Amino acid sequence: MALLRGLCSGDTLPLTKEQITFLPDWVRGLCSAEEDDSVRPLHLAQVLVDHYDRNRRKASGVGQGLLDEIRRRPGGEPLAAYIERRIANEWAELWLGDQIPETVEHSRRHSKRLMEIAANVFRSARPEDVEAVGLNDAKALALFVTAIYLHDIGHTALAFPVTPSGGGAFPLGLFPSSVREVHHLLSRDLILAEGEDLLPDDGSDLAPMLRELVPLVCAYHRGYTHLLKEQKTAQPKGAVSQVGKLLFGDEHFNETLRPLEEVLEAKKGKIAAWGLSIPKVLACAALLRVVDGCDVQADRTVDDVYLKARQKRTEKEGQALWQQLAFFDTKLPAELGNKLCELRDLIDSERIDSERIEDPLRVKDQAEAIKALTGDIYTAVFDDLIALKGSGDWAFINEDFEKIQALSLANRVAFKWEQFLHFRKHQAVGFVLPMPSADGKGVTIGIWPNNELRPDNAALEKVRESIQEELSGKEDDQARGKQRPGGVGDILESLGLKPEVMGERSDGR
């Protein structure tokens, strides 16, 4: 397209008949000979260039169906047009600088797949059920779509705070697992800090509403957070709690654990003035969590060529980090050093490499062992960082460079090898398709196997359980009468969402 654009430019001299023979066939076919034997592009060539420039960033194709859902609602056309402009401009390249590229894709392709999954939910649900949960409203859908597009931009945060002040900042890139654990809160902070750029005013009350509510919906898209007051304060365990308290401090992090409904009640007047309600905002947050959990399909690894290249690159980076760590390992606490040795021994003894993990079933047990070890490493790293920071600011980062470098390398090497295996789990799922339930009531979330691989019914069932857990709590707890009190399933109950594995195979085809 760049070649065709150049030929159409008024600054480009006409080509001769001899020169045109060196052009690609499709470009040559868009040119014609003039009376002076020069060759110039046809008018059609300029039309094609203009069409490409106008549409290359638009939400056409995948994701367009959800924008059409907005347009179908009263007053929806200008809201959909506003979002389309943002997708084409301010949001187009938000994912440049993803701090954890070794994870599965969190770019606009992920957002557009969520839009398509959500659009299929709306197509499959009965109109009265959509109305019952409060998502038949154009403004609520505009909030929902914007949150879909922005919920993962925390992956691009360079430092904490996202707008550093005189107290210094914590370098997130040196500790990639911290980005994963609190990316939802980093998304919130980035949207709050850059709201006027991401969501510019258009003369209506839409942008102010989005600037205030989208950060909250994004902050509650992680499964440990609670939506309803009856759930009480969330109590995350392990790495999430450690990273949250290190970055935000106990008091501020504890504020993020309050149920979303409780937070929204303080904004009840504003929400009503915008023509919304607390149940509608809660429905946006709940459905975002469901559709985000549905994007576990093979397309999230882009394609097989990219997957293999990503795996080989991650493997090389992991090996390089081991070599760098050797220069600093004396700075590590003994227990942390032992855990790293266990991880290295496991990887070496089991020959965990990019060739062997072509088939995820061959390394299933090792993947679970590596996940457990990396979890212990993260805990040890952040225990040490919390102790170093104490009650002070981020100045400690510069006070013992070798110790910080050693802890960073420990975190990074563990993260590389955990993601090296985790990346493959998405390969088991061919696609996820919400569709009307057989009885005409509710929506079945169909989970279809990837027919290009050996069947992994256990992985498919694990995906189903994960979506079901988001809706109604752990199934073993339900069997003991301990179903989680309130949450996503209660908010979206009218939609009758039910995940189901489709077309299980036993013979590889």
Summarised one tens digit per residue, pLDDT across range 116-159 is: 999 999 999 999 999 999 999 999 999 999 999 999 999 999 99
pLDDT range class, residue 215, cuts 50, 70, 90: very high
User: In this structure, what token pair is assigned to residue 69?
Assistant: 């859902």
pLDDT of residue 62: 55
Tokens of 37: 């034997």
Whether 34 shows a pLDDT value over 60: the answer reads yes
How would residue 51 be classed by pLDDT, with cut points 50, 70 and 90?
confident
Q: Give the type of residue at 301.
A: T
pLDDT at 363: 59
Q: pLDDT tens-digit profile of 54-81?
A: 766 665 555 788 999 999 999 999 999 9
**Residue 446 pLDDT greater than 80, yes or no:** yes
- Cβ within 8 Å of residue 66, ≥6 positions away: 115, 116, 118, 119, 122, 141, 145, 148
Alpha carbon distance 372, 417 (integer Å): 12
Residue 151: CA count within 13 A, CB half-sphere: 27
Rounded mean pLDDT of the chain?
86
**Closest of 100, 93, 178 to residue 423, by C-alpha:** 100
Partners of 432 in the β-ladder: 447
Separation CA 347–CA 311 (nearest Å): 15
Please tell me the least confidently modeled range out of 198-202, 280-284, 400-404.
400-404
- The Cα–Cα gap between 379 and 373 comes to 10
pLDDT tens column, 457-469: 888 898 899 999 9
pLDDT of residue 451: 74
Confidence of residue 92 (pLDDT cuts 50, 70, 90): confident
Q: In this predicted model, which residue has the larger pLDDT, 28 or 483?
A: 28
The pLDDT of residue 479? 47
Cβ proximity of 221 and 183 under 8 Å: no
pLDDT for the residue 320 = 92
> Rounded mean pLDDT of 399-413?
93
**pLDDT at site 367:** 77
CB atoms within 10 A of CB 68: 13
Per-residue pLDDT averaged across 290-306, rounded?
73
What pLDDT score was predicted for residue 495? 96
Question: Over pLDDT 70: what percentage of the chain?
Answer: 85
| pLDDT value at residue 476 | 47
Whether 218 contacts 151, CB under 8 Å? yes
Tell me which DSSP letter residue 34 carries.
Answer: -
State how far the Cα of 36 lies from the Cα of 16, in Å rounded to an integer. Answer: 10
Q: What is the pLDDT of residue 483?
A: 47
Q: Are 314 and 420 in contact (CB under 8 A)?
A: yes
Higher pLDDT, 415 or 94: 415
Residue 380 has pLDDT above 70, yes or no: yes
